[in-house]
Every structure is written in C-alpha cells, then in structure tokens.
Structure 1
C-alpha cells in the first residue's frame, strides 16, 4: 500500500486562487470542466443496456447489481445514449460523488447529465478520479440545491464552471494507471476485512445455534428431538411449541384500528418491523401516536418481557421489550408475543432469532411476493427448552459470544474505515498534485 510520506512533492508550486483546490505544480495548467466536456443528449436507442451511476463504483450496468431499486421506464426511447469514455453525472446525487467515465455503451435516465470528453486534452481515467475526489464532492455539495437532500439538483450550467488542474496528458495517464493499481490493492485489503466480518457472523451464528439447541455441556446425554431441523438435544430438555409457551400471541392493529393520519411525532412509539434490530426494539420518534390513540389500542401495548415479531420481510426478526420500552404499541406489521413462566423471555429472544428458527420460518411462511408470518404459524414453531437455571447460563454464554465477536468486528470495521479514508486521501493528493509520482 501507499503512504504519502513515501512520495516527494513537486519542486515548485503556484497558486490557483481557488481555496478548496490550493496550490498545484507550476507546470500544470488550470482549465474548467467546460473546456474538456461537451453536453450531449443523444436518444432513441431503447435497445441498449441500461446503465446506473454509483457513488462507490461510477458507471455500471444496472443489471449487474441487485441493490438498485430504481425502476426503469417501460419506454426507454427518451433515455440518453452513453458511449464508452463519456462522462455521466447523476445530478441528484452529485453531492455524494455519483458520477464517472463510462466503460460501457448503453443508456441512462434522461435526468442524468451526459457529456463527451475531449480525450486529446484529458486522459479519461484521470478525469474519472479527479471529478470523484473529495475536494470536488465538496464543490458539488455547494452547487446542489433543493428542499430535500434526496432530491437535490445540480445543473450543467453550474457544473461546467468548476476549475480543473490539468497536467500533461502523459502525466495524466501515468496518474490514472497508478491509481488503478493502488486503489485495486486497497479495495482488495478492504474486501478481505469485509469477508472476515462475514465469517465472524457465520461463526457467531453457529455458536449461538449450538448453545440453544445442544446446550453448553458437550458430554450431556442426547436424544432425538423429533424435529428434523433441530436434530438431537440434551436428554433432559423438552421440545415445546411456541403457542404452549405463550400467555398472549396476537397480531398488531389492522384495518380501521390504526390509520396513517393517527401517526404523530414524539408520542407513544409504535413498533413496526423497521424498529426491530438484532433482538432489540429501536423506537422511531416519527412513528408514534398520541396518548389518546395509545389508550384506544391498549390491548396492543407492550410489557417488559414481551417479544415483538416482524410479520413481513426478514423471517425471525424480533425484539425484546426491556425496562424503559414498555408501554409501546405493537404495530400493524408486527406480532406481539407474551411468554408465560415456562421460559425466560431473553432465552426465547435468542432462540427465536437464531438461524435454525429463521430457516424454519422461511420454509413455512406464506406470501406470494414476500415472506409473511401469522399467529398460527408462530404458535407451531418448536423450541428446545432446557430447565430455567440452564436457560440463564446459556443467556450468559451467548452474551459473552456476542460481545467477543462484536469487539473483533468493530476492530475490523475501524480498519476498513481507515483504508477507505486513506484511499480517498491518496486519490485527492495525487490528482491535485500534492504529491509527485
């Protein structure tokens, strides 16, 4: 990897009179984006592949990723044609750096800015790195405007006046090729750490599954649970259906019981699936109701020890009601489960959030386009139940497993963030001439 101290500065610098750009090498020139780009709006080629612009990747084939939820128009004849080497800017996300030089021939949304690039003056890869560097993202932020951040806009008439440092084309090519190699090295290091985090998650899931289905004593006599996907359990454990462990199991308010207009800010929290994360309830101040509405929905009000399930989406997502979170309202998209005295609510939250339960719920859930739970399905879920004192020991062990894995994952994530920051800093330093190759 690269350290800035490894590279010398140029012998002489000159002022650009642009505060955010600073000094540049004396032999570089200053131009503007309009000097190296020409706005284009070629259309009527609907059969070309649709492209997207990502902050982290630049211009890509839209179908190459499954996390792009922007709908493509049924009629793409109005989409703009992009040729290899064109500059494409998502003007609504420019403030995040969503732009780049395209390596693909395709079409993009008519809302994007598309430009041809004067390749005799600028090496496309150099321009790609330069326009996506941190100093420039700050400029786009200042030039973007609108009522809401997600709907900010930046116009080419403003964009084209942004100054550019321009070294010789040979030097631009050397810079572009160098950054290709070095950013690939950094990206590989980031990917390795991300993979380690995923492996940690898998290991944590295995250890928790082991604890809640096999216990903590590897020498305990075992017996067949009678449930294929659970396998053997300690001989002294019981298998209970969730309905047998329930004091209450009911769906949240639906139909006319709770309308969108009932929601207010900073009232009594309503717990929908989006407020459930990693076994915890995370209230949202914008998803709340008045005390009057809460009293009307009192039968859906939570108590300490209650578990709230998401009815839709990710199966097994649930959250435990703890001290300070009681008195909330179980939302329309959720199910309220109140355990009886046969099982500890913390143990049940751990067991119900484990991978083997998730797989079971995915198998039995119903819904044409999205997994969907109901109280009938939940009541039939089989749970291995050890004696109460053993449940408490398992809880302690799982808390320890989670803490240890969280600490390692946190350290890895700090390393990823540092690599990412270093990458951005290195790109900015090289393309603006602060260090010499």
Structure 2
C-alpha cells in the first residue's frame, strides 16, 4: 500500500465516512476512546497511542510518555518532537504496524468493534481528512466526493472481511508483525491470544485507567485516580435474544418494562418541589432562585408527582438520555412519564441502563410521532420495551460500583475544569495588559479619561467604537422563505465557542433577503459579538473573521462590527473587545429580566485604547505567540475531559449489560460518593435541562 498510484475516489453518499469520534461511525477512528488495548500486560487507551508508541522501540521513555496521555490527540502530539528519531524503517513498516494495531483493537474490544465493523455492511469505509490523503481521503467537489489512498479505511475493510469470514476466530492469536525490534518498554511484544469471555477484554486484574505499569502523570498536576480496578468472577453467558446486547450472564432475565414498573399519574401536590432532568446526571431538584431564565409556574396543578425512587422520563427526550430516578418526592412537567419500580427493580440501575447508547436507540424504535426528533415514548410503548433484569442483589452491586466510579470521574473532571479556569484567567490577563498598556513596560502613560480603563500609553488614542467601525445588528433567523436566497448562517453558538469564524466550519444552512446578504455577509476583518443572551455574562463575546466568507451571513442575536482598516485591525478590535475590562463593561450595560441584551447605542459608545496600526500588528503577533501554549493546554485538557466521558459511557454500558462482572468488587477507602460532587459530571455548555428544553411554564 505504499505506491504512489493507489489513490481512490469515493462517493460520500455511497460510503461510510468518518471524521469525528462522536459521529455514528466515529469508533472506527484511531482517535476513538473506549477501545483500550492490552499489550504485554500494559493497558493502552487507544489504537492511536499504540501506533505512535511503535515508532520508538529503542526509546522506552518516549513510549511511556505517549502511552501515558489520556487524550489520543495529545499522545500523537507528544510523539511529534521525536519523529526525527523514529525507527529507521518506519515508512516501510508503518502499514503493517497499523494493520496489527487494528487487529489488537478488535481482539480487545470484540463485541463493540466487530459490531461496528459489520454495521458498515458492504460499503467502502473512508476516513475523511483535511490534510492526509495517505491514511484518509480529502474532500473534493463541494464535499460530495473524497479522493485519497485511504489506507486506514482499506485496512478496516480488510478487517471487516476477516470478521465476516472467520467470526470470533478473527480475534484469536494476534501475532506481531514480522519486523525486527518490535518492542514495548524494551521487551519483545508477545503474541496476543484472544480472550474467551466478553468481559475479559474490558478489564484487567490489576491497574487503573492508565494501566498498572504506566501510571504516568498527564501534566505536572496530580490527578485523582479516575477508576478503581475490578476483580472479575468467571461467569457463563447465554444468548439474550436482543440485538443490542446479544449475550448476557446466566442468571439474568429479559423482561418487558411493564413487569418491572407501574405507571404513576398523580396530580394536585402544589407544595412539592419542581424536578428537572439533566442528560448526564439524571433527575434533580430545580434551583428556582438561580435559573438562567426565570419562570412562573402558572399551571402547577397539572404537574405530576414523582415519589422518591420513581423513574421520570421526558417523552420527547428519553432518546437523548432525559431519564432518571427522583431524588426526593417532587413534581415533573406534564411532558414526563412517571413510573414506579416494583421490588425486583433498582431504579438507579435502570437509570444507568436507559441512558446507554444501545438502549436509547431502542427508545427511538418504540417512539411515535410525525417529526422524528420530536417523537414521543408513551407509557403504552415504554411498558412493552424489553430490559435486562439481573438478580436484585447484583443490580444493587452494579449501582454501588458505578456510583463509586462516577465519584472518581467527577473529581477528575472537577480538577480539569479548575485547570481550564486558571489557564483561561492567565490568558485573559495577558491579553488585557497587551491591549491596554502595549508591549513596552517602560512606556510613558497618560490618563485615559475613562475610569474603568485607567492609564494608557501616551501616544495611543482612546476611541469610541462608532468612530472606528460600522456597527450592524442582525435580524436574520434560521427560517427560510421562498423569495429568499440560500446562505450559511454564522450563529450565536458559532461565535460563543470559537475565536475565529472560518469557511470550513459546520454552519447552519438557511436563507436571507438580498438586502440582508448585502449588509451582513462576512468580510475579512469583521468582528462579531453576542448582543443578547440568557445571562449578562454571555453578552459581548467576540469572534474574528480572518478572510472573506461569501455566502456566510451574520445571524440573529449577533452584532457585526466592520472596522475601518486604516485605523483598526479586525484582529486587534477582536482582542480589545474580548479583554476583561471591556467585557465587564458590556456585562454592566446589558439590560433585561428574563433575557439580557446590549443596545446598538451601547456597542457604538464603548471605548477601547487604540495604538497605531503597526503597533496593533505587533501586539496581535505577541498575543498569538504567548497564548498558543495556553490554548494548546486548554485544548488538551478539554480532550481529556471528553475522553474520560467516553470512557465512562463505555464502562457503564459494559457493566449494566453484564459484559464486565463486578460481583467481586468491594469498595475501598477512596470510594467515597458525594452527591454534590457528582454534579461535575454535568456540563454547562452541553447539559440540557427540562427548563432549557421548554417543558417548564413561562
């Protein structure tokens, strides 16, 4: 596969194309978490880390550095400084090593990975890549076609055929490639023998998430250990009759939900607290005092009572995980179904089961409605759904084990979030000083005349934004009409989550009038900011447009600032508006009760300290250079949080379906579960609640 004439052309609609790990076939990627591999007793989190470590058989310390990373992208980046010291025959052996790495991924994760491979059917498998047309294929013709050697995709197709022809034998006796010096930590890599039971591939007798032999700190800070090792107990398996979990332990049953739960429909309890759902942490008491969007419960008499331990689920959102046990007696929206568990059902166990990806797909099959993403799962359908039924003591043990692991993972996420906060504060402090004082520590200063701005360099101006930029507010929404022209919309979320708006972003498609297109199409140097939000702290968040974006229009909830480039660079204006001092002024100026907004007058009359254009360029270059290490550290930390979440999802799925046996687990001294600390499992940016989903009463 090393020839130069092996490019292939693939049609996107006829192929299985994967790019991101959170896509339906993202598990095919070497960057996908949740597919750990054991080599010579060492636990390696991803096939990417394994592949990169194989570059350096003569450098065991570099191998440990790579394997010790939680994030596969970080593992890859850690290898880059040492690439010049790769094994001398690397270009000749890398395909063989990749083939072996994929077989190891299959052998260690047979159930999940073989099922994913077979789900691709007979279609070509293609890794989409923006840069690499050796392992993947690049997009051409507006995204409809991909061209490249696609070596990774072809190896996956090869492996798929082995699974089809050989079945489980495809994962037995995985011999290392026949190449010299194939070593891990100085030891020859041994033949991997496929493990006889599904759970054996997912856990090991000793070790942690990082492996007993590779417990390497990711950064300088000390991380809490995310998981506790499991002692496994041999158990037999039997066919379940369910496509989403083909084999379950002997002694487990499959029953319909109507055998496990009764329907509770009770109204008229106005004094009970209101409950809401979190997609990640289940049902919780709504904090009515600190809602982003204040609500008046005008029809509380229609709300349903959920007794402590009942399971409540959102009929329209259970397929996303909007389900959980009630922590106290409380009230839920009329859009919810409340079910009371019978004695043989631990509602916490079923809350974990119901939020697994496999079960949520079953929910979709049983839901009914006109529009797919608003389908409803009524009680009559829910009670017909089959569920797994371990013996009640085993359900209780599974819940205790998973809560202990959740506590470890929550503490890990909390530490990472605190690190991101510190890095962000450090970055903002650098930017704030640069855009208000410049780069010369000895520069002569003068009073700015603006109290919050303080002193500025004597040769700088203090300028109103209206004198250096044209301020335009957008009213373009996502709705399209026949008389309008198709466009791509730069939305609130695009700005809020990104410093730059570029053409390769996944932007919403909508339509706009000719006048809107003429006034709001994004041009190089434009700065966009959020002009309204549910909280004043989210007001005035800016993003910068580095190049013309024909066909991309600024959308509703945003303001567009078009700078006079002979006076102010778009990038400098972006940095100045994003500085802590300017941001604080926008927060103060924002007005509203249930939603906060900046008026155009507020933006036009905001002031910034303005150096000469050449000095603006120097400041922007300095900020980029100084912030890059901080941005890289933030990105690595966010990747680590994402990976631990993927690990958690996979662990829960394996444990609640019996693929990992936790009957022999006993809690240790560190297995302390704090319900308040478990809140860290949620995510402010992604965690939908009932209030945000519109089920509450305004």
TM-score (norm 2): 0.55
| Contact persistence 2:293–2:595 (CA under 8 A) | no
State the Cα distance separating 1:395 from its structure 2 match.
0.7
Alignment partner of 1:122 is 2:345? yes
Rounded Cα–Cα distance in structure 2 between residues aligned with 1:215 and 1:318: 20
Q: 2:428 maps to which residue?
A: 205
Q: 1:55 maps to which residue?
A: 279
Q: 1:305 aligns with which of 525, 538, 547?
A: 525
State the Cα distance separating 1:154 from its structure 2 match.
1.1
Q: 1:17 maps to which residue?
A: 241
| Contact persistence 2:473–2:600 (CA under 8 A) | no
| Contact persistence 2:525–2:563 (CA under 8 A) | yes
Q: 2:486 maps to which residue?
A: 267
Q: Report the secondary structure of 1:17's partner residue.
A: coil
Rounded Cα–Cα distance in structure 1 between residues aligned with 2:594 and 2:354: 41
Alignment partner of 1:381 is 2:606? yes
For residues 10-409 of structure 1, the aligned pairs below 5 Å read 10-63=234-287, 73-119=297-343, 121-246=344-469, 249-252=470-473, 267-268=486-487, 276-277=495-496, 278-281=498-501, 284-290=507-513, 293-294=514-515, 298=518, 303-313=523-533, 314-325=538-549, 334-339=559-564, 341-365=566-590, 370-409=595-634
Q: 2:118 maps to which residue?
A: none
| Contact persistence 1:303–1:321 (CA under 8 A) | yes
Rounded Cα–Cα distance in structure 1 between residues aligned with 2:486 and 2:260: 55
State the Cα distance separating 1:279 from its structure 2 match.
4.9
| Contact persistence 2:321–2:360 (CA under 8 A) | yes
| Contact persistence 2:272–2:329 (CA under 8 A) | yes
Q: Report the secondary structure of 1:161's partner residue.
A: coil
Q: 1:435 maps to which residue?
A: 660
State the Cα distance separating 1:70 from its structure 2 match.
9.8
State which drifts further: 85-94 or 344-353: 344-353
State the Cα distance separating 1:50 from its structure 2 match.
1.5
Q: Report the secondary structure of 1:5's partner residue.
A: coil
Rounded Cα–Cα distance in structure 2 between residues aligned with 1:302 and 1:30: 56
CA pair 155-264 structure 1, distance change in 2 beyond 3 A: farther
Rounded Cα–Cα distance in structure 2 between residues aligned with 1:143 and 1:258: 34
Q: Report the secondary structure of 1:267's partner residue.
A: strand
State the Cα distance separating 1:392 from its structure 2 match.
0.6
Q: Report the secondary structure of 1:11's partner residue.
A: coil
Q: Report the secondary structure of 1:38's partner residue.
A: strand
Rounded Cα–Cα distance in structure 2 between residues aligned with 1:136 and 1:368: 40
Deviations 1:361-397 (A, max 9, x none): 3334555665444454334322212232221111112
State the Cα distance separating 1:428 from its structure 2 match.
1.8
Deviations 1:25-70 (A, max 9, x none): 2123332221121112112212211212222121111226956769
CA pair 67-372 structure 1, distance change in 2 beyond 3 A: closer
| Contact persistence 2:489–2:552 (CA under 8 A) | yes
Rounded Cα–Cα distance in structure 1 between residues aligned with 2:586 and 2:568: 20
| Contact persistence 1:4–1:426 (CA under 8 A) | no
Q: Report the secondary structure of 1:84's partner residue.
A: coil
Rounded Cα–Cα distance in structure 1 between residues aligned with 2:277 and 2:519: 48
CA pair 137-12 structure 1, distance change in 2 beyond 3 A: same
Alignment partner of 1:419 is 2:644? yes
Deviations 1:388-425 (A, max 9, x none): 22211111122234433332222112211211111122
Structure 1: any 5+ residue segments left out of the alignment?
none
Rounded Cα–Cα distance in structure 1 between residues aligned with 2:653 and 2:477: 52
| Contact persistence 1:264–1:287 (CA under 8 A) | no
Alignment partner of 1:4 is 2:208? no
State the Cα distance separating 1:141 from its structure 2 match.
2.5
Structure 2: any 5+ residue segments left out of the alignment?
1-42, 44-201, 206-230, 663-698
State the Cα distance separating 1:236 from its structure 2 match.
3.2
CA pair 378-45 structure 1, distance change in 2 beyond 3 A: closer
Deviations 1:211-256 (A, max 9, x none): 111222333343433322222323333322333334xx354478xx
State the Cα distance separating 1:153 from its structure 2 match.
0.8
| Contact persistence 2:398–2:656 (CA under 8 A) | yes
State which drifts further: 55-64 or 319-328: 319-328
CA pair 298-85 structure 1, distance change in 2 beyond 3 A: closer
| Contact persistence 1:429–1:435 (CA under 8 A) | yes
CA-based RMSD: 3.3
Rounded Cα–Cα distance in structure 1 between residues aligned with 2:555 and 2:654: 50
| Contact persistence 1:266–1:286 (CA under 8 A) | no
| Contact persistence 1:269–1:328 (CA under 8 A) | yes
| Contact persistence 2:520–2:560 (CA under 8 A) | no
| Contact persistence 1:95–1:138 (CA under 8 A) | yes
Q: How many residues align?
A: 428
